[in-house]
Amino acid sequence: MSNWEILWASRDVFWQGFGNTLTIFSISAVLSFLLGSLLLFSMEGVRPRLKIPLRIFIDAMRMLPFLILAYLFYYGLPSVGIRMTAWQAGVLALVLYHGAYFAEILRGSRITLSSGQEEAAIAQGFSRPTMFLRIILPQLVLRTRGVMGNQLIILLKDTAFLVIITVRELTAAANSLSSTYFIPMEAFIVVIGFYWMISLALEQGIRFLGRIGEKRGFNNA
Amino acid sequence: MDGNAWGLLLQGAWTTAWISGVSILLGVFLGLVVALLRLAKIPFLDQLLGAYISLARATPLVTLILFIFLSGPTLGINLNRSTAAIMALTLNTTAFNAEIWRSAFNNFSKEQREAAMAVGMTPWVYFRRIMLPQTVITSLPNLVNEMSFLVKGSPAIAVIGIVDLTRVTNRISAVTYDPLPPILAAGALYMAMIGLLVWGQRIAERKANRLAM
Amino acid sequence: MPEQPEVSIRNLSKSFDGIEVLRDVDLEVKSGEVVSILGSSGSGKSTLLRCINWLETPDRGEIRINGERIGLQDKTQKPMSRRELAKVRTQLGMVFQSFNLWPHLNVLRNVTEALIYVQGLKKSDAVERAMAFLHKVGMAEKAASYPATLSGGQKQRVAIARALAMQPKVMLFDEPTSALDPELVGEVLSVMKDLSSEGYTMIIVTHEMDFARNVSDQVVFLEKGIIIEKSAPEIFFHSPRSERVRRFLELDKVV
């Protein structure tokens, strides 16, 4: 059997890893975007009490490597009695970490949004949450689509770190196949291909969002 | 944590720092080379470099490091761990830096080129004396930003057994049976390193903004 | 019993960073009346308008819309909650100098958005009402366009439709033509003129003298935060009581 035939025979292992990576990625992407939006909303308004602690949280995340956060949740927290599976610790770390980055991306665009649009919404009787959800957030997403897309790709790549805390994702699949059959080259070429495919699909999605944005005159992405 | 643990931790920090540092230096320079090669638009090479950049940007560092370290021997190349780590980090960061350099070159104003030609500069003199110095200043904030991304990605080298600032926390807790303090201490050291880069980035931004006026 | 004014402003004062922008302003606007507020820039006229719907919080004084207090609780003098404020504001439509359309929504949805998410209308009803008002301002055929593709005059007409669709009692206009190219001013003024003849109550901050002369029932002149002239347009433009207004009008003629 050639090396490629060995890989084909164990395609189940790849599919499982691919499925796990996609699942972890999708859940974390959705939750971290929601968290980022929520963080931004909590920092809105005239005198938000939460502004300073949230600012510290966001800056801390931006100065830490993702893996050390995953280490903290998986290896560190059990010593204060909080136990999570590798999967739970990994997803929680991804959501908190990238939620902070999403909040920062949105905030960067938020401060350049004209206050007139907000005034128009207030004059029309919008409540703060409705205004944020319907007037502000959609515009921020359209404006920051490029940076958001990059952040999603970074999130995808960060899922590979989870192999180190023993999550059975795509890179773990390649690693285990390569050590079982000693065919590292082929195994890793296949998974890198998988990652590339997901990234290209994400970029395509962003380009689609770009067309929606352009129609509305949002060219500054 | 006792003195011994702190000693180990600092060793880990040093490992992270020097491997990242070497990769950053290589990556900034090679990124410039790749950007210039792409600006020359040489057929085939241009597509090849484009594919490299797209692929390198999509490949997780952990995966890339395992790939290089494990498949080296099957090609008859025996890499030591540090070399494999530096290769992987450099391959990764070069792709991002190449795009930073390239966009800075592309955004460079044509008028300056015309002004330089008008006073009789050769293209090489123009590039060395006019274009490059300004491009360095305008790209620097983004390059420094990419440096902090590299440091944040550097724990990936732990996967091939390098005892960096992240992995050293396992070592320490294997002795002390309490992983929390070394992880928190490592986090603080990372913050110090990356904080330094963020601070450098702010200074670079101020310089770049002054140039833009 | 005298007719209750639609808008009544009493003793309104407001300062920014210690500088008094409005001082003891009194103004009453009856139902169906059109009031133009004139004055040089920095006279406080925009601030006055923005206080009426509480986009600026006045330091002192009270404002009533149909007898209903805005901004502060009548009994306790405590600030209204956002919800209460939003409810009073639905009686006031506002048109801004810079249009402030929402760029991610098309023309139709700019109008329906508040109908659906503030007034709670069914989508089909909101669309029907929005189309009626877009038709009124002559923008019905642009319903599917996005703001970025419209001219300034078209944007402002959509903004007017957006405010009208909420069916407010009073329309506030904050220099609605100041951001427009001269050739686009006419289309907006003509829409506003139609509204005045339909009996809308309107308060307009403007620099358009001819419009103020021909359309308003009352002209107010503001100088350094004080109303120094308040009269019918015939009197205001032909025999103003104050020397300052006379100079202002002459300057306008020269330009």
Residues of B in contact with A72 (CB under 8 A): 180, 183-184, 187
* Residue C35 pLDDT exceeds 50: yes
Domain regions of chain B by residue span:
3-212
CA angle at residue B19 from B17 to B25, to 5 degrees? 95
Q: CA–CA distance from C178 to each of C36, C98, C100 (Å)?
A: 14, 8, 14
Q: For the sheet containing C92-95, what is the strand order? A: C92-95, C170-174, C201-205, C34-38, C218-223, C226-231
In whole angstroms, what is the distance from residue C229 CA to residue C222 CA? 7
- For the record, the structure tokens of C251 come out as 């300057």
* Residue C254 pLDDT exceeds 70: no
Q: Does A128 contact chain C (CB < 8 Å)?
A: yes
pLDDT of residue A149: 92
Please name every residue paired with C201 in a beta bridge, in sequence order, or none if there are none.
C170
Q: Is residue C112 within 8 Å of C123, Cβ to Cβ?
A: yes
pLDDT of residue A220: 53
A162: DSSP letter: G
Percent above pLDDT 70 for chain C:
98
Residues of C in contact with A130 (CB under 8 A): 117-118
Q: Does B75 contact chain A (CB < 8 Å)?
A: yes
| DSSP per-residue string spanning B115-179 | HHHHTT--HHHIIIIIIHHHHHHHHHHHHHHHHHHHHHHGGGGGGGT---TTTHHHHHHHHHS--
* Residue A125 pLDDT exceeds 50: yes
- Chain length of chain B: 213
Neighbours of A37 (CB within 10 A): 20
Q: What is the CATH number of domain B3-212?
A: 1.10.3720.10
Out of C114, C149, C162, the one facing A125 most closely (by C-beta) is: C114
Collapsing DSSP states into helix, strand and coil, what is residue C166?
A: coil
Greatest extent of chain B over all pairs of C-alpha atoms, in Å: 72
Give the E-state strand segments of chain C in sequence order: 7-16, 19-29, 34-38, 60-65, 68-69, 92-95, 170-174, 201-205, 218-223, 226-231
In whole angstroms, what is the distance from residue B91 CA to residue B23 CA? 9
Sign of CA dihedral B87, B88, B91, B92: negative
Burial (CB < 10 A; 0-12, 13-18, 19+), residue B97, is: buried
Nearest-CA residue of chain B relative to A164?
A: B159
A63: DSSP letter: T
Cβ-based neighbours of A173, under 8 Å, separated by 6 or more: A13, A14, A16, A17, A18, A187, A191
Nearest-CA residue of chain C relative to A215?
A: C146
Mean pLDDT calculated for residue range A170-199? 88
Asked if B179 lies within 8 A of A175 by C-beta distance, the reply is no
Asked if A116 lies within 8 A of C162 by C-beta distance, the reply is no
Collapsing DSSP states into helix, strand and coil, what is residue A89?
A: helix
* Residue C1 pLDDT exceeds 60: no
Round the CA-based radius of gyration of chain C to a whole number and report it. 18
Asked if B152 lies within 8 A of A66 by C-beta distance, the reply is yes
- For the record, the structure tokens of C122 come out as 């069914």
Nearest-CA residue of chain C relative to A219?
A: C148
> Which residues 19-78 in chain C show a CB within 8 A of chain A?
53, 55
Asked if B60 lies within 8 A of A196 by C-beta distance, the reply is no
Q: What is the CATH number of domain A3-215?
A: 1.10.3720.10
Side chain identity at residue B129, one-letter code? R
Mean pLDDT calculated for residue range A42-59? 86
Q: Does A114 contact chain C (CB < 8 Å)?
A: yes
In whole angstroms, what is the distance from residue C48 CA to residue C175 CA? 12
Return the residue matching tokens 């770049």. Answer: B208
Neighbours of chain B (3+ CB pairs under 8 A): A
Asked if A127 lies within 8 A of C55 by C-beta distance, the reply is no
Q: Tell me: the pLDDT tens digits for C131-167?
A: 999 999 999 999 999 999 999 999 999 999 999 999 9
* Residue C255 pLDDT exceeds 60: no
Domain regions of chain A by residue span:
3-215
Q: Is residue C236 within 8 Å of C245, Cβ to Cβ?
A: yes
| DSSP per-residue string spanning C38-99 | E--TTSSHHHHHHHHTTSS--SEEEEEETTEE-SB-TTT-PBPPHHHHHHHHTTEEEE-TT-
Nearest-CA residue of chain B relative to A81?
A: B180
* Residue C11 pLDDT exceeds 90: yes
Asked if C148 lies within 8 A of A127 by C-beta distance, the reply is no
Neighbours of chain A (3+ CB pairs under 8 A): B, C
Sign of CA dihedral A118, A124, A126, A128: positive
Neighbours of A186 (CB within 10 A): 18
Provide φ and ψ at A84, rounded to 5°: -130, 155
- For the record, the structure tokens of C221 come out as 């002149």
What chain C holds in terms of domains, given with CATH numbers, is 1-91+170-255 (3.40.50.300), 98-167 (no CATH)
Q: Pick the residue of A47, A124, A218 with the most C CBs within 10 A to test the interface with C by mutation.
A: A124
Confidence of residue A221 (pLDDT cuts 50, 70, 90): very low
Nearest to residue A73, comparing CAs of A85, A56, A60, A59? A85
Note down pLDDT in tens along chain B; length 213 residues. Answer: 788 888 999 999 999 999 999 999 999 999 999 999 999 889 999 999 999 999 999 999 999 999 999 988 888 888 899 999 999 999 999 999 999 999 999 888 778 888 888 887 888 888 888 888 888 988 999 999 999 999 999 999 999 999 999 999 989 988 888 889 999 999 999 999 999 999 999 998 888 888 765
In whole angstroms, what is the distance from residue B96 CA to residue A154 CA? 12
Q: Does A2 contact chain B (CB < 8 Å)?
A: no
* Residue A1 pLDDT exceeds 70: no
